[in-house]
Structure 1
């Protein structure tokens, strides 16, 4: 009898506890607000919230800025030139998720309204005439290049940059959605979106960093661009959709220096919507263009929509690139699938014949291209960017 009474007492306490839990209410988190401006000289974490970006904000060496998931940072073209710059030695940590990306945007929603995210490191580059350092072309005139292949500029995960690609000063200095100057392999770049910028979606200026799960959507110039001997080797799942205005899907060059290395990218989709025009009425646009000794290894590629009479899937722009990169086997494109009427390959105005060594250019109708998950990170104004 005593055991029965004791058991009933325990059950009573259990059910009483459950009842009190059911009465609890969850208080929603109020987004933080504030202005981000001036040089960042001390480390700081920006909690989930809505912030304004004013001016060119530079993260100085030794300083780390962190943004929590779901945050939104808005620039304003009426305030002048806005950009978020990570100087060599500084770090940017952005902890977005697929459901709660961190979004950098601009209030007018006009392409070319601000400078995007710019990161500097001291990883190796090969500049003009083999130089190991150079000066940036973003109007900031900062040096880049070094010997630290494992440079770490931070971690960018599930980040979207909208309406960037600002042209500044005399119109020749340009900023992209994401600009990576001699950034090293210690930096993490995953699930990034560059949306409707007025220049390139992503540009690599030398360095050793690699990037996974990239979307370049509606950018005016090239979806993906690199130079200065960029040599990232672990790149995968790159998706480009050109619409309205756009030049090359991928523009690949190496400052006319015949390098013994090149980047590696797997799982690539390059699409162009009907009626898309070139920037500045250029008569040439292609899915992939190699020039000035650009090279690399690329596999599982889908090319779709480059159907104009002037377009080809792969263009070798100059004779030197053909001799030193194609003929020497330093350009490899395997498992290429070309939809529509796009010619397989072509050359520039010079007189030469493009003939890839056996096995260095192969086609495969079963190729899938980039494989990306959909969700909030890849959706803008209700439109899924993965078309």
Structure 2
């Protein structure tokens, strides 16, 4: 007994409750003398506990229920491993978020039956900052800059030179009620944000649920995502800039309900010389009555391209894109002439084959500049919604988030 007490006291000195440590509270079981399942020396949370501050050693979180308090950072050289069935509840009163910095790694490995879940104690959209990863892959920011300052309030410079950089893996992970405005509202976090994340990182079977900014936003980098679900996010379901160029994306599903802007908002930060990302299998559905964030806004189109945004998309299904004026929602919207001449006309913007149903301006690309180019296409009725398998990973409060796909 004394031996255990001395052990716990010594461990408490290592994992002290300061702003620069990962905190394991009294209700946390310490498993196996503090050795994670991956065999490296570090801390283990086994069942209950609290993550807070900056991790100082490799940390493994086992199945259980945990608190996430404040901005939790995974710095360079540190690995956070989260096992299937772990649920984190972010404390909304202290501005919580999970941030994996350049050189840090996260391995959040849930399953369809036992996902890794991040939620909030208030259960309201925009409660907390969501999950953010920083990598060392290349970017092209404004004026072609290879580095830029993040807009998430962390004041971190991102951008690197390793396109195959590996920040770990997220599999069967759900983020609820994340994404929030910061300060004067000109900056924000998203449910899931990827700053210059490399192609060695795995993103599979993820859900972004009811955040107040984008479901997913990519700031440059080369990472790809498979089986991504964006449900009920207030701004855009999928968004990118700074020359994001993921080439192996598939099965993206957005369901916009109550409040939502574009299904996809695409730009390249004004850089004509960019590599078009590729996505095979996109389903964008806007529920009847869904309003844009700002009353009277025309941000209702399924897919918008601007500032040299590019993308090669195949097997695209778009449904329900209607605005109250009956005329400002399109399948695709091109915002400026430079994007048309340098991206569309050069084959770096392609949305085909596509099926556009129950929407305004059926089978029409819109143009927000003069002269209005106008472009029509023929819907391919053989293009159906993407196929995703239901399960606990995509179920919230008993509601199957994938039901609209059936």
Q: Same fold (TM over 0.5)?
A: yes
Aligned residue pair count? 353
Q: Where in structure 2 are the equivalents of 1:88-107 lying within 5 Å?
A: 88-107=102-121
Hey, what does 2:122 align to over in structure 1? 108
1:334–1:362: 8 Å Cα contact kept in structure 2?
no
Hey, what does 1:262 align to over in structure 2? 276
Q: CA deviation at 1:134?
A: 0.4
Residue 324 (structure 1) aligned with residue 338 (structure 2): no
Hey, what does 1:36 align to over in structure 2? 51
Q: Where in structure 2 are the equivalents of 1:37-186 lying within 5 Å?
A: 37-78=52-93, 80-186=94-200
Hey, what does 2:380 align to over in structure 1? 364
Q: Which has the larger radius of gyration?
A: 1
2:319–2:359: 8 Å Cα contact kept in structure 1?
no
Hey, what does 2:11 align to over in structure 1? none
C-alpha deviations, 1:261-297, integer Å up to 9, x for none? 1100010000000111101222331100000000110
> 2 CA distance for matches of 1:54 and 1:362?
51
Label 1:47 to 1:341 Cα distance change in 2 as closer, same or farther (>3 A).
Answer: closer
> 2 CA distance for matches of 1:216 and 1:288?
14
Q: Where in structure 2 are the equivalents of 1:339-350 lying within 5 Å?
A: 339-343=357-361, 344-350=364-370
Counterpart among 355, 376, 387 of residue 337 in structure 1: 355
> 2 CA distance for matches of 1:304 and 1:353?
23
C-alpha deviations, 1:51-95, integer Å up to 9, x for none? 0000001101010001110110001212x2110000000000011
Q: Structure 2 length normalisation: TM-score?
A: 0.85
C-alpha deviations, 1:243-275, integer Å up to 9, x for none? 010000000000111024110001000000011
Residue 375 (structure 1) aligned with residue 395 (structure 2): no
C-alpha deviations, 1:22-42, integer Å up to 9, x for none? xxxxxxxx9710010010121
Hey, what does 2:225 align to over in structure 1? 211
| SS of residue paired to 2:338 | helix
Hey, what does 2:314 align to over in structure 1? 299
| SS of residue paired to 2:353 | strand
- For structure 1, which segment, 273-282 or 222-231, has the greater mean C-alpha deviation from structure 2 after superposition? 273-282
1:126–1:132: 8 Å Cα contact kept in structure 2?
yes
> 1 CA distance for matches of 2:134 and 2:231?
24
> 1 CA distance for matches of 2:342 and 2:54?
44
C-alpha deviations, 1:115-155, integer Å up to 9, x for none? 01000011010100111110000011100011110110001
Q: CA deviation at 1:110?
A: 0.6
> 1 CA distance for matches of 2:299 and 2:197?
30
| SS of residue paired to 2:340 | helix
Q: Structure 1 length normalisation: TM-score?
A: 0.89
- Structure 2: state its 5+ residue gaps: 1-44
Residue 279 (structure 1) aligned with residue 293 (structure 2): yes
Q: CA deviation at 1:362?
A: 6.0
Label 1:113 to 1:260 Cα distance change in 2 as closer, same or farther (>3 A).
Answer: closer
Q: CA deviation at 1:368?
A: 1.7
> 2 CA distance for matches of 1:307 and 1:166?
26
> 2 CA distance for matches of 1:341 and 1:157?
33
Q: CA deviation at 1:352?
A: 3.9
| SS of residue paired to 2:352 | strand
1:288–1:314: 8 Å Cα contact kept in structure 2?
yes
Q: Runs of 4+ in structure 1 displaced over 3 angstroms?
A: none
Hey, what does 1:7 align to over in structure 2? none
Hey, what does 1:8 align to over in structure 2? none
> 2 CA distance for matches of 1:182 and 1:342?
36
2:333–2:367: 8 Å Cα contact kept in structure 1?
yes
1:236–1:370: 8 Å Cα contact kept in structure 2?
no
Q: CA deviation at 1:369?
A: 3.3
